[in-house]
Amino acid sequence: MPAVGVMTSAFVDGAELMANACGAPDYPFAVIEHPISSATDAELLERAGEIVRQAEELVLAAASQNPP
C-alpha cells in the first residue's frame, strides 16, 4: 500500500533530518503551508487539495520507478 508523508512547512527541516537519520536522504514528502491551526475552513480545504495533488504525484513517481 503506497503511503505519503505529509507535514507543514515549519517541519520540513526536521523531516529531512529524520529521513537522513533513517537512511533515506531523498525521501519525498508532501508539504503544506504552516500553520494549520489558525487556518479557516476554506484555507484548509485548499491545502487539502494541494496535498492530494502532491500525494498523487509522489505515488505515481514511485510506481513508475518500481513497476509491479
E strands, the chain, in order: 5-8, 29-32
Which residues in the chain come in under a pLDDT of 50?
none
Q: In terms of residue numbers, what domain contains 42?
A: 5-65
pLDDT computed for residue 2 by the predictor = 79
pLDDT computed for residue 66 by the predictor = 80
Cell numbers placing 7: 507535514
Q: Give the count of domains, the chain.
A: 1
